[in-house]
Structures are given as C-alpha cells and as structure tokens.
Amino acid sequence: MDWTALTVSLQLAASTCLLLIPLGLWLGRTLATARFRGKAFCEALVALPLVMPPTVLGFYLMQSFGAEAPVGTFWQWAFGEGLNFTFSGILLASLVANLPFAVQPIQRAFETIPANLREAAWCSGLSPWQTFLRIELPLVWPGLISALALTFAHTLGEFGVILMVGGSIDGETRTLAIAIYDRVQAFDEQGAAIMSAMLLLVSFLTIGVVYGLAGRRRWRHA
C-alpha cells in the first residue's frame, strides 16, 4: 500500500475542493442569474473539460505550463518555480479539469431559486450579502454538496490529466490512481488490488458523508 500516494491524492482532492467551491459559487450564481452577452460561450467553456479526452486536456495544459508558455512564465515569475511535474501544476490542472463538476450543480441549484425570493428578501430589509447568506446559500445547499462530492471523487480518480502534467513523482505528483497504474505495469497485481480497494472505500465514504449532509433538510419534506 502506497500511503504517500494516498496522501497526495487526498491533499489534491481537498485543495481542489477548497479552491474550486468558492469559485464555483461565484461562477454558478453569475451564470444562473446574470444576463450578459457571451453567456452561452462561457457556459460552453466551463463544460469543455467534461467532453474533452483527459489526455488532450492534459496535453494542452502541459504545453501552457511550460517554461516558454505564458502560464508557466507567469508562475515562474510569481512563485519562482515551474508548473510541470510539481504539485502546484497538478493542482492547477485539477482545478481546470473539475470546473464543470463544481460549477454545473451549483448553477442548476441557483437556477431553481425564483427571482422574487431574492426581491422578497430585499423588501424585508436584507442586504444583498445577507440575502446570499440567509436565503440563497441554504437553498443551494444540496447543489453545493453535489458539487463538493463530484469534485472530490473526480479528483481522486483523475488519471490522464495528472499523468500528462505531473508524471509520477513520488510524494509530489504520484496520486493513488497513478500508483495503481504503476503497480499494474510492474505486474504487482496484489498491490494494485489493495490500492484500488482503498480508493473505492475512500470514494464511497466521501460520497456517503457528503450526501448524508445534503439529506438533512427538514423543510423539503415538511
């Protein structure tokens, strides 16, 4: 059992969720409520990682993370290190690959809130920020939980993008999914089986906890 790989996987999944959920809330709400030119284009852009082959997405990311490319150059200038074959690199790649999993459930949830609920809150004296915290957030909670579960689980299982951008560096970019692939390549089927079972267990537990959280809403069934 490669505990280091499991740690990398969990760290990657947690960091992705932590960074992507606030962004997903903002983007999902904007796409659900605002009307602007080019909205359909933005939605298509967000959905793109969903339909792109992971290796293709990974390839483009790898290209743009290179020392010569704009993103890589910026990163080097800002943080003094490269992006390819680093944890920061796979985290950034994971953020891009998971964008639709975080944004879409949240956007759908915001779309179900009638506009006049927001207006009723304003007329009741709540500021836009209070309205967001006390009215909108509780109502999109199930969508938020779905986004969290999907992002976490998808990051744990992500293979193609991570392999292209990060390779398989122990303790840095080798996630559990990649470690399993390495084990199989080395004909260590037992090792692969144990790690696969572990990934299955962790994924199942995550989804269970997360959906348990989402289910606790009295008002729907009241």
Binding-site member from 122, 186, 200, 211 for another protein (CB under 8 A): 122
Binding-site member from 22, 53, 114, 171 for another protein (CB under 8 A): 114
Characterize 99-120 residue by residue with b for buried, 16 or more Cβ atoms within 10 angstroms of its Cβ, and e for exposed: bbbbbbbbbbbbeebeeeebee
- Taking CB under 8 A as the rule, does residue 53 contact another protein? no
- What minimum distance in Å lies between the beta carbon of 108 and another protein? 17
For another protein, the closer CB: 3 or 129? 129
Binding-site member from 99, 135, 177, 178 for another protein (CB under 8 A): 135
CB distance 179 to 1 below 8 Å: no
What lies within 8 Å, CB to CB, of 86 at 6+ separation is 166, 172, 173
- What minimum distance in Å lies between the beta carbon of 24 and another protein? 21
Q: Which of residues 163-222 bind another protein (CB under 8 A)?
A: 217-220, 222
- Taking CB under 8 A as the rule, does residue 40 contact another protein? no
Q: What's the rounded Cα separation, in Å, for the pair 16 and 135?
A: 26
- What minimum distance in Å lies between the beta carbon of 122 and another protein? 4
DSSP class of residue 135?
A: I
Binding-site member from 134, 200, 211, 212 for another protein (CB under 8 A): 134
Q: What's the rounded Cα separation, in Å, for the pair 5 and 217?
A: 36
CB distance 164 to 214 below 8 Å: no
